[in-house]
Amino acid sequence: MLTKPYLMVPGPTVVPERVLAAMNRPMINHRGPQYEQMFRSIVEKMKSVFQTAHDVLVFPTAGTGMMEAAIVNVLSPGDKVLAVSIGVFGDRLAQIAREFKAEVETLNFAWGQSASPEVLAQRLAQDTNNEIKAILITHNETSTAVTNDIEALAKARGNHPALLIVDAVSSLGAIPLKTDEWGLDVVFTGSQKGLMIPPGLGFMVLSERAWQANKQSTMPKYYWDARKTQKSLLKGQNPYTPPVSLLYGLQEALLMMEEEGYEKIFSRHRLLANVLRQGLKAIGLELLANDHNASPVVTAVKAPVGIGGKSIQKYMREFYGITIAGGQQDLENKIFRIGHLGYVAQVDVLIVLSFLEMTLLTLGFPVELGAGVKCAQQALLNSEKQ
Ligand SMILES: *Cc1c(COP(=O)(O)O)cnc(C)c1O
């Protein structure tokens, strides 16, 4: 039967039609006044998204490019860094620091858990000579669907001078993050997650202390040089040709975000995640993260015994056109992940639950059809009364 393509992965996320239409416009000169006006307005608005008064630097790149930019702009070879990891993306940030010859110590937590502020505070308390120059941490660990409490982790740093480098690729714009208020030093994100535009743009903010560290930093950099990018920003430009179409899209996406309001965006993600989790539990499924650490933007579900996560993914895609994500590395085939990040609404939660029930029943998992959907419907109705 005909299927409609239906994307529910945690990036790239669904791009709203308004944004797609806005991107479909002729090129303009990226050194001209029209571009300058658009670019200045975009970086101003991005400051609200980052909750910062500092410059928002824009780079054409995948999110991983921003991970590299964050490391090479504030560190030097031989610097000791503490890499706090709760999954694939935390490990990646540690590996990038290693590649650039930082001395990396890892502080790993079991996959499905969040990082403990107490454990971080204890480790920093042992570092009496302030040898640790930076702490690397992921805000929302997309691979395990767990969100770290960055505010508490930032507090746990106390008076230790280490820079706090935060990967906010799958959180910014969907989960609250207060760059300046929480004292975060380097925060970066990508375009294809909460910002609702296609992949290809990265954004990074440096605190005053991070800009100081940037002056001392000797790791090699050319394309990622934050100072060059900041210098161009003064002229309302980028050092090299920017993907103009993506900026058209971002302009429209930021307008949509302003129209809805950031607080409402955050509560929408939180509500839909809660409703989805209740529905999944009512189906009889086990979730990887507990309610306390669970991500508002992606949910990791344990594949039932005897049915691999991959077969669920495959069936959903082939028979119903619904694309969900699988598990990565150690979690491959053991979980599947449902993305609910960016342009998501109540309709998406009910659709994914109903077709998941049909898929599971077909694959041999005992489901009472409608159990998850009914539970989610009830939860949505209850939320309307509040
Ligand atoms: C998506 C993502 C990235 C970057 O991914 P790219 O594929 O390089 O764009 C980095 N960190 C987190 C937490 C992510 O979710």
User: Does residue 166 contact residue 196 with C-beta atoms inside 8 Å?
Assistant: no
Instruction: Single out the residue of 10, 42, 18, 17 nearest to residue 242, CA to CA.
Output: 42
* Beta carbon of 11 within 6 Å of any ligand 1 atom: yes
φ, ψ of residue 175 in degrees (nearest 5): -125, 135
Over the chain (386 residues), the average pLDDT of each successive run of 10 is: 96 98 98 98 98 98 98 98 98 98 98 98 98 98 98 97 98 98 98 98 98 98 98 98 98 98 98 98 98 98 96 98 97 97 98 98 97 98 90
User: Does residue 74 contact residue 213 with C-beta atoms inside 8 Å?
Assistant: yes
* Beta carbon of 62 within 6 Å of any ligand 1 atom: yes
Is 45 in a helix, a strand, or coil?
Answer: helix
Q: Cα separation of 137 and 86, whole Å?
A: 9
**pLDDT value for 369:** 98
Instruction: Single out the residue of 188, 191, 209, 210 nearest to residue 200, CA to CA.
Output: 191
Q: Which residues pair with 57 in a beta bridge?
A: 204
**CA 140 to ligand 1: nearest atom:** 13
Q: Cα separation of 352 and 344, whole Å?
A: 12
**pLDDT value for 154:** 98
* Beta carbon of 146 within 6 Å of any ligand 1 atom: no
Written as six digits, the tokens of 33 are 């006044």
Residue nearest to atom 9 of ligand 1 (CA): 63
* Beta carbon of 12 within 6 Å of any ligand 1 atom: no
User: Does residue 201 contact residue 171 with C-beta atoms inside 8 Å?
Assistant: no
**CA 141 to ligand 1: nearest atom:** 13
Q: Cα separation of 84 and 51, whole Å?
A: 23
**pLDDT value for 385:** 85
Where are the strands (E) in the chain, listed by range? 6-7, 56-61, 80-85, 103-108, 132-138, 140-141, 146-147, 163-167, 186-190, 200-206, 298-302, 322-323, 325-326, 335-339
**CA 190 to ligand 1: nearest atom:** 9
* Beta carbon of 328 within 6 Å of any ligand 1 atom: no
If you measure from the C-alpha of residue 379 to the centroid of ligand 1, how many angstroms do you get, rounded to a whole number? 31
**pLDDT value for 213:** 98
**pLDDT value for 190:** 98
If you measure from the C-alpha of residue 64 to the centroid of ligand 1, how many angstroms do you get, rounded to a whole number? 6
**pLDDT value for 386:** 76
If you measure from the C-alpha of residue 236 to the centroid of ligand 1, how many angstroms do you get, rounded to a whole number? 27
* Beta carbon of 170 within 6 Å of any ligand 1 atom: yes
